């Protein structure tokens, strides 16, 4: 496998291969526009907006729209036709049915969609297709499961709710940001019995709706995880991720010193599966299943020449993107069980052999106006490493000035 990293070069290139030898700050000074309070009509800085822990989105203090009327989960005994509302715009078909009819089982939803009994504007759809405001949805007779009584939580559920509250970095009526700990999966899978999605069951409201995941991070990655508490918020937040309006910053510890100290990694990634494992490999344009992936990185601080604290900004959101990209340039993340393959490399004494990758910060438009800006602290094993190596977590992070493409 050849290693390829785009060094900064002023020569014009295609969008996918573009790079620049100027520092991030110099490259973005003109594009960023004035700070808040500057001339109207100019683009604000990337990380405009107050930190979530300092000030909630402005909309939290503004007048909110009238609350939605509860959706009655009546048993449809005959075919009915409903219209997609503004709040349901861009919602997946299966989520639409789940929201309209709490208690409808997942298997029943899949069955009526698969058989073509549910139609959108007279056409068959897939459960993952997205709806648009004003569309007409034909709903066949449905069989609803008995709704769970909303009452006092069991002792186990109370413990789960307490655990979620302890993880909470930011919360309002629409949004929840969790500081996900190392080793806790976001979703279920083979051999996974406890995960965030399952834990959110204890937060179901009186209409049977539970908070929804709008993005994911790996099981062994710590840090910011964004949750939508309402279907209105879910629609807006997933749209922000698709349009790349969400900005994410990660911190990692890697061996050696990446050169140059600031750079752009642009490759294609494809999934490679074996009997024992699944990883992302560097692929070529046109390879089956290959997707373009772009990451900016910047050196923040070094511990001699042996270890380096790097800050990472993914432009795209591919599986294992940061882990595969750092391995690709010869600096895999410390403690990575899938991508760290440097022979005869010894972990310095006192450092734990755990993935040193933190979803440090997320900045995203709030569904009702303003900006969500949340930051997660170093997890215990990374904090221990920072202390042992003498790294200062309060240092300026140069990745904030990285481009957005």
Instruction: Return the bridge partners of 314, or none.
Output: 295
Tokens of residue 346, six digits: 């010894």
Find the helix or strand (DSSP H, E) in which 109 lies: helix 106-114
**What angle (nearest 5°) sits at the alpha carbon of residue 39, between those of residues 34 and 41?**
100
Q: Taking a C-beta distance cutoff of 8 angstroms, is the pair 133, 232 a contact?
A: no
Query: Are the C-beta atoms of residues 183 and 222 closer than 8 Å to each other?
Result: no
Q: Which of 94, 172, 174, 218 is catalytic?
A: 218
Q: Identify whether the C-beta of residue 281 lies closer than 8 Å to the C-beta of residue 270.
A: yes
Q: How far is it, in rounded angstroms, from Cα 266 to Cα 268?
A: 7
With vertex at residue 337, the alpha carbon angle to CA 220 and CA 177, rounded to the nearest 5 degrees, is 15
Which parts of 191-341 are beta strand (E)?
212-213, 222-228, 247-255, 262-273, 278-283, 291-303, 307-314
| Cα-based angle 239, 189, 95 (whole degrees, multiple of 5) | 35
- Radius of gyration of the chain, Cα coordinates, nearest whole angstrom: 23
**Does residue 388 sit in helix, strand or coil?**
helix
Give SS3 for 274.
Answer: coil
Q: How far is CA 256 from the centre of its chain?
A: 28
| Nearest-angstrom CA–CA distance, 46 and 24 | 12
Mapped onto helix, strand or coil, the DSSP state of residue 97 is helix
Per-residue DSSP letter, 58: G
Spatial distance between the Cα atoms of 28 and 110, rounded to a whole number of angstroms: 47
Tell me the two tokens of residue 348: 């310095």
218 classed as catalytic: yes
Active-site positions read 218
């Amino acid at each position: 496998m050849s290693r390829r990293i785009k060094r900064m070069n002023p020569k014009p290139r295609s969008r996918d291969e573009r790079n620049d030898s100027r520092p991030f700050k110099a490259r973005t000074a003109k594009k960023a526009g004035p700070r808040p309070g500057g001339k109207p009509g100019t683009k604000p800085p990337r990380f405009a907006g107050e930190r979530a822990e300092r000030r909630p989105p402005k909309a939290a203090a503004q007048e909110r729209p009238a609350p939605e009327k509860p959706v009655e989960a009546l048993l449809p005994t005959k075919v009915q036709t409903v219209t997609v509302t503004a709040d349901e715009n861009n919602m997946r078909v299966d989520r639409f049915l789940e929201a309209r009819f709490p208690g409808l089982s997942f298997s029943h939803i899949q069955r009526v969609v698969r058989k073509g009994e549910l139609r959108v504007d007279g056409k068959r759809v897939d459960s993952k297709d997205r709806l648009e405001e004003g569309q007409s949805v034909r709903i066949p007779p449905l069989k609803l499961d008995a709704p769970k009584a909303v009452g006092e939580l069991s002792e186990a559920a109370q413990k789960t709710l307490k655990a979620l509250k302890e993880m909470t970095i930011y919360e309002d009526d629409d949004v929840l940001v969790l500081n996900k700990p190392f080793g806790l999966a976001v979703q279920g899978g083979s051999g996974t019995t406890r995960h965030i999605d399952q834990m959110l069951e204890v937060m179901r409201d009186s209409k049977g709706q539970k908070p929804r995941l709008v993005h994911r991070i790996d099981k062994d990655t710590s840090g910011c995880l964004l949750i939508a508490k309402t279907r209105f918020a879910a629609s807006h937040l997933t749209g922000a991720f698709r349009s790349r309006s969400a900005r994410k910053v990660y911190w990692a510890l890697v061996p050696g010193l990446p050169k140059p100290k600031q750079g752009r990694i642009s490759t294609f990634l494809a999934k490679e599966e074996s009997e024992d494992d699944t990883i992302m490999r560097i692929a070529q344009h046109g390879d089956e299943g290959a997707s373009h992936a772009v990451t900016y990185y910047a050196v923040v601080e070094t511990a001699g020449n042996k270890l380096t604290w790097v800050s990472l900004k993914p432009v795209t959101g591919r599986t294992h993107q940061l882990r595969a990209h750092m391995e690709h340039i010869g600096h895999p993340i410390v403690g990575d069980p899938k991508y760290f393959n440097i022979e005869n490399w010894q972990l310095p004494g006192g450092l734990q052999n755990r993935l040193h990758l933190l979803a440090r910060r997320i900045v995203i438009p709030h569904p009702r106006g303003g900006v969500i800006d949340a930051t997660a602290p170093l997890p215990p094993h990374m904090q221990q490493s920072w202390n042992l190596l003498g790294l200062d977590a309060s240092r300026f992070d140069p990745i904030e000035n990285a481009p957005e493409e």
